[in-house]
Amino acid sequence: MSDFERNWDIYLNHYRPDVLFPEVKQPQKASQLVSSLLDIADEFDVLLLDGFGVLNVGAETIEGMPEIINGLVEQGKSAFVLTNGATFPVAKNAARYPKWGYSISPDNVISSRSAVEHAVPSHPLSTRGKTWGVIGSPDYDASTLKVKSIHLTEENVDVVDGIIFLGTMEWTSEKQAWLLESLSKRPRPVLIGNPDVCAPLMSAFTVEPGTYVLDIKAIDGVDVHFFGKPFQLCYALSFNKILEVVGNITPDRVLMVGDTLHTDILGGNTFGMKTALMADYGFLRGRNPYEFIEESGIAPDFVVSHRTF
């Protein structure tokens, strides 16, 4: 099984709309094929953009995208970013976009970490002054979490009261093994700051927390809670930010643009936004997106691609 097939299998079986959002009837959409976001500018007033696979692939800007996004901003559209990148505080993520040539204010960037930071102070462990063990980056920065926390290591994993899994930059199968062993001995809450299964690089996919969490969820007694796309807290925070900046607007005038059906498109559809699947550079690059739309039952309003299907 290829990396893509394995990642798709995880999304298909663990991010099913009827399981994640059983109370929401998913919209049936025609998924119109267009070659550029510029072609559908009349359909929206606000862009809510994913990062990986839409604005950049790894550290590389997608060719032509700064000109497209900046052109839409010049037409009077407002541009925001909603990313599942949770490893670093949102300000660090936000600083990249102007450097890459995008006319996107750093204040208009929301991340799944923003959702974690919004929710974790009111978690029962936090209100009782308990300690969270944080999985993130080698240069651990939990300054914006506003709770008692330490960098999770094999030495302290048995004593922390809960786990916040922000990113996989430092994570390995060996570390996953001692985390699973510790949680099996003493189940504790686990907060997943990035639900992504993978992220696209130029010629490969990274392994993100959504893959590692499968084994964590299988442990009896472990309470797993997700933040980020497709879960709705990050969409609510994004929409509140949009209302602050743009003023009165309805969700259907916001276009969620992403490369992954089970995160970007599912989450945007569930919130009542219009959605556009970018098919050329991200998760579905080189594949016919309509086959995966049909298999998943998750349909965007638009498929953006230079190819024909």
pLDDT per residue as tens digits for the range 84-129:
999 999 998 899 999 999 999 999 999 999 999 999 999 999 999 9
Pairwise CA distance, residues 31 & 298, whole Å: 10
Please give the residue range of the domain that contains residue 79: 3-112+230-304
Asked if residue 140 has pLDDT above 80, the reply is no
Q: Same domain, yes or no, for 135 and 89?
A: no
Asked if residue 292 has pLDDT above 90, the reply is yes
Mean pLDDT of the 131-147 span: 89
**Last residue within a domain, chosen from 226, 261, 295:** 226
Give the closest residue to 282 by CA, choosing from 197, 224, 195, 210.
197
Pairwise CA distance, residues 132 & 187, whole Å: 13
**If you average pLDDT over every residue of the chain, what do you get?**
96
Q: Which amino acid is at 293?
A: I
Q: 304: which DSSP letter? A: E
Asked if residue 201 has pLDDT above 90, the reply is no
**Last residue within a domain, chosen from 166, 195, 226:** 226
pLDDT score of 58: 86
Q: Label the pairing between strands 190-192 and 149-151.
A: unpaired
The CATH number assigned to the domain holding 76 equals: 3.40.50.1000
Q: Same domain, yes or no, for 299 and 214?
A: no
Q: Same domain, yes or no, for 11 and 106?
A: yes
**Cβ–Cβ < 8 Å for 270, 244:** no
Pairwise CA distance, residues 242 & 105, whole Å: 12
Residues 50-59, buried b or exposed e (16+ Cβ, 10 A)?
bbbbbbbbee
Q: pTM higher than 0.85 for the full model? A: yes
Give the closest residue to 115 by CA, choosing from 92, 82, 163.
82
Domain total in the chain? 2
pLDDT (tens digit per residue) in 50-75: 999 999 998 899 999 999 999 999 99
Q: Label the pairing between strands 190-192 and 224-226.
A: parallel
pLDDT score of 240: 97
Q: Same domain, yes or no, for 100 and 9?
A: yes
